[in-house]
Amino acid sequence: DVKVTQSSRYLVKRTGEKVFLECVQDMDHENMFWYRQDPGLGLRLIYFSYDVKMKEKGDIPEGYSVSREKKERFSLILESASTNQTSMYLCASSSLTVLVGYEQYFGPGTRLTVT
Amino acid sequence: AQSVSQHNHHVILSEAASLELGCNYSYGGTVNLFWYVQYPGQHLQLLLKYFSGDPLVKGIKGFEAEFIKSKFSFNLRKPSVQWSDTAEYFCAVNALGDYKLSFGAGTTVTVRA
């Protein structure tokens, strides 16, 4: 079974703090993704990575950065957290195999509250 | 980029009722289609997927979906829901060869016992 783990289930941070969210997958997947999930908006892609040290912006990258130093690990960084970044953050991974249509596997999510 | 529209924001049903959730996408080329489910307190998991072949696909827990290319639709169905089907359901699409998925806004399904 594919397993995607995230470092925290719940996180409370203050405005202006630097926040690190970490994600690890154990299936040797090439692709990794960070989304935020908000009620009524579904999942919106923040960043994704298709290889170590490679990254591409998603639909809402402003205020976020990412790091992928190892294939299995993908970090999301909030340089200076703001209250509008309070959300559920989901990490996902997928293989490069076109035969499975790049099906994504998700972690449990981190609910971040910025006060 | 593709866009995905889910018609219902919140659906409330009684047990044993039939369920149909609508999903439409906007993209003229070949697509892969997915339905994901998120049970309360759990992570998002795949319910079913369509890549090619028979447009009627069956997934886990008695769910099925039909791809109608002419209508750009991929509606999810279950003939008889159970209380345990209470969850949020997301439709997702990617263009052939694209790593990224586009998700709909989600439909919350509440099944009353």
pLDDT per residue as tens digits for the range B31-77: 999 999 999 989 999 999 998 899 999 999 999 999 999 999 999 99
Of A48, A90, A109, the CB nearest to B100: A48
Contact status of A102 with chain B (Cβ, < 8 Å):
yes
- Give the mean model confidence (pLDDT) for residues A101-109: 88
Tokens describing residue A89 = 């953050």
Chain B, nearest residue to A93 by Cα: B99
Residues A102, B99: C-beta atoms closer than 8 Å? yes
- Residue B98 is predicted with a pLDDT of 83
Residue A66 has pLDDT above 90, yes or no: yes
Tokens describing residue B44 = 């998002």
- Give the mean model confidence (pLDDT) for residues A28-50: 94
Residues A50, B99: C-beta atoms closer than 8 Å? yes
Tokens describing residue A63 = 């205020």
Nearest to A106 by CA among B39, B76, B10, B65: B39
Higher pLDDT pick, B82 / A27: B82
For A95, residues 6+ apart whose C-beta sits below 8 A from its C-beta are A27, A28, A29, A30, A31, A102
pLDDT per residue as tens digits for the range B21-32: 999 999 878 899
pLDDT per residue as tens digits for the range B69-106: 999 999 999 999 999 999 999 999 998 878 889 999 99
